[in-house]
Amino acid sequence: MNLCEKCGGKGRIDVGEKVCPNCKGTGKTESISLGEATEGEMDDLVTKGATRCTVCNGAGTIAVTETCDQCGGLGREYRCAVCGTRLSSKRELCEKCAKIPAVHILDSACDTNDLVVGDIYQGKVSGIANFGAFVDLNKSVRGLAHNKYLKQTPGVGEEICVRVRNVAPNGNIELEPATMGEHHIIAVKKDLPISKAGDLEGLVGKLVSIEGEVIQVKQTGGPTIFGVADESGLVSCAAFERAGVRAYPEIESEMIVRTIGEVSTRNDQVQVEVRSMTQLWGGEASRVEEMIEKGIDKRAEPYDPPLLIESEVISKLRPKMREVAKEIRKAIFKSRPIVIRHHADADGISSAVAVETAILPLIREVGGPDAEHYNYRRAPSKAPFYELEDITKDLTYALEDQRRHDQKMPLILLMDNGSTEEDVPAMKQAQIYGLEMMVVDHHHPDEVVNQYLIAHVNPAHAGGDFGVTTGMLGTEIARMINPDVEEKIKHFPAVSAVGDRSEALEAERYIKLVEDRFRLEDLKKIALALDYEAFWLRFNDGRGLINDILCLGRLDRHQRIVELLCEQANAAIDEQLKATMPHVKSQRLPNGIMMNVLDVENFAHKFTFPPPGKTSGEVHDLLCKKYQGTPVVTIGYGPDFAVLRSKGVLMNIPQMVRDLQEEIKNGGVNGGGHLVVGSIKFVGGMRKVVLARLVEMIAACQVENLS
């Protein structure tokens, strides 16, 4: 029985208004009943000589109404419980169906208030006494069929039909067995107004009905916990069958259900003790789904704070950044798990932790204090792209959570990776399992990845380059998700800028933005500490430690851990450079480039910090100082890889990779990165051929004027 849409269930609609006959339009009355007057009315009478009119509530006018023509004054639609014919009065059956008697079956949420004296109900004998038989009409409603009405004593567990003769003021129910021939079966549902999950805190102790989507099902050693979400929020619904036994096994994740139960609190969180849970179908389910989608879509609308700095490129990216922010907020409000995958360096970490800092308070607000443990995960990627190893782990976790807890498949956000053709194999696996993915990256993008993404933010799409770091983009997106975290993460873009050695105007502006708290030297130390710790963390997110390095906790501990990690990192770098620098081979190319090559496989410490990429970068920095004013390219190579670093050279490494693939078809070449910083992989047996052709390509590159 749905409420009438025209009158909202009132049965009457307002067609105008008229002057209140009680106060003659003044809104006040000079006479009140002293025995019934409130304290406020007495004060008004004493101080003002009059009190607010109780008929019009002080408005001076009252509404003129007429019977709603759509529902005929009933307030809702009544249909025959058997044939579905629309009824013109508050009845259960139409005239035709009423000719056959009906047997009612009480829903488990019903109580004595739902019984109608004279109606027949189906029950089960639960006990025999000297004076009669006890009959359960559901789990909470029990009546007595006295011996004087019993022609023969029924057996315990026997199903019988009984007529309700009387319901006493103390709740005792008098029953009489009824012999039934042909009859209709009518399910009696508890008729309660629909409450919203977000309003239940004020309804503790009350019986409520909520409609929503099952987000998660968890079986505990006691009850089964259903997470049910509507457009206003999420509530845990506890249903108990027997200890450790799955209640309502027919109810699964992503179903639309109506739940009736008593509101209680557990561990300071609102919970519904389930009396009844049924799946909604057809139009009812569609109505609830549409309402949930509209409500969540509105709540998920991101904030629109001004950028922390002026940037033409980032301003052009704002619409795409808002898309990402909205999808993340929508996932949170739907209690959908979120996985953040990021490159394991200062830029990737700072971007991911910025978003993490923004979303964790919202996840806890929506799903409770424990929600972050099963609705969020951050994981570093060792390579600057989404590897098959990464997607394999993410799918394994997601499918296991789906099997054990009926969780939805997660939303995956790739940060500081995800823009290149190298990401495609992993993305194809994700697509098979319905994983939705978004990318926030500053590596040179390949258009092929867009078909696997629901949103893609990259400065190259707005005329920018890798100088606009992912940390900058991630921090601005985090502020759109949750502006309350701005002061905590405002320095992250500057950390990412120095960590990725950005020379963009944006880098200068973000660094200047936080100079009152962090000197340039402080930012460099934070970036180095992140790179150093990321090496040892490997595939662990290291949340607490990373938070301390990024100054999200105690300032004294931040300063001490950064100093220690930088001391250890610099010592390791010095040791590595002592071993490698004597083995660097340098030559000047015809186009003026100083080419430097280093065999990091044979002339660098392995399996320790700094790794080959970082080692090549440190060597490159020293050589840039040595050959100041000259274009410099440094190649650190191993058995099947080469790391490229350059300054003052107009290279396009992704294009060079594609050319190598075309020219050396048996070389197994792949790789990429930024235009002038990147890495290349190949098969070991073709190393000399690939490196020789790579040097030829570099020798053909244009150079910048560094004078």
Assess if residue 548 is contained within a domain.
no
Predicted confidence (pLDDT) at residue 317 exceeds the cutoff of 60: yes
Assess if residue 72 is contained within a domain.
no
For residue 469, the domain's CATH number is: 3.90.1640.30
Same domain, 632 and 493: no
244, 272, 298 — which closes off a domain? 298
Secondary structure letter of residue 422 according to DSSP: G
Distance CA 212, CA 231 (A): 8
Which residues have CB under 8 Å from 484's CB, separation 6+? 361
Assess if residue 354 is contained within a domain.
yes
158, 188, 218 — which closes off a domain? 188
- For residue 475, give the nearest of 523, 510, 517 by alpha carbon: 510
In this prediction, residues 235-254 reach a mean pLDDT of 89
Same domain, 239 and 172: no
User: Exposed e or buried b for every residue in 278-301, given b needs 16+ CB within 10 A?
Assistant: bebeeeebeebeeebeebbeebbe
Same domain, 159 and 108: yes
Query: Which amino acid is it at 618?
Result: E
162, 188, 214 — which closes off a domain? 188
Same domain, 160 and 201: no
- For residue 350, give the nearest of 499, 148, 209 by alpha carbon: 499
Other CB atoms closer than 10 Å to residue 328's CB: what's the count? 28
Distance CA 206, CA 10 (A): 23
What pLDDT score was predicted for residue 121? 93
Assess if residue 694 is contained within a domain.
yes
What pLDDT score was predicted for residue 188? 85
Secondary structure letter of residue 246 according to DSSP: P
Percent with pLDDT over 70 in the chain: 94
Sign of CA dihedral 190, 196, 199, 204: positive
Distance CA 195, CA 207 (A): 10
What pLDDT score was predicted for residue 233? 83
For residue 599, the domain's CATH number is: 3.10.310.40
Q: How many domains does the chain have?
A: 4
Torsion, Cα 363 368 372 374, to 10 degrees, reads -120
Same domain, 623 and 687: yes
Assess if residue 10 is contained within a domain.
no
Assess if residue 78 is contained within a domain.
no
Distance CA 656, CA 699 (A): 12
Least trusted range by pLDDT, from 2-16, 176-190, 670-684: 2-16
CA angle in degrees (0–180, nearest 5) for 173-175-178: 155
Same domain, 494 and 621: no
Tell me the average pLDDT of the chain: 89
In this prediction, residues 644-658 reach a mean pLDDT of 91
Which tens digits make up the pLDDT trace of 135-167? Answer: 999 988 999 999 888 888 888 989 999 999 999
Predicted confidence (pLDDT) at residue 50 exceeds the cutoff of 60: no
Same domain, 237 and 361: no
Same domain, 342 and 469: yes
Predicted confidence (pLDDT) at residue 196 exceeds the cutoff of 80: yes
Same domain, 326 and 461: yes
Same domain, 632 and 512: no
Distance CA 646, CA 384 (A): 18
Domain span including residue 283: 197-298
Q: How confident is the model at residue 366 (pLDDT cuts 50, 70, 90)?
A: confident
What pLDDT score was predicted for residue 34? 47
For residue 269, the domain's CATH number is: 2.40.50.140
Other CB atoms closer than 10 Å to residue 343's CB: what's the count? 26
Same domain, 347 and 268: no
- Provide the 3-class DSSP secondary structure of residue 569: helix
Assess if residue 566 is contained within a domain.
no
Which tens digits make up the pLDDT trace of 461-499? Answer: 999 999 999 999 999 999 999 999 999 999 999 999 999
What pLDDT score was predicted for residue 627? 93
Assess if residue 89 is contained within a domain.
no
Same domain, 184 and 201: no
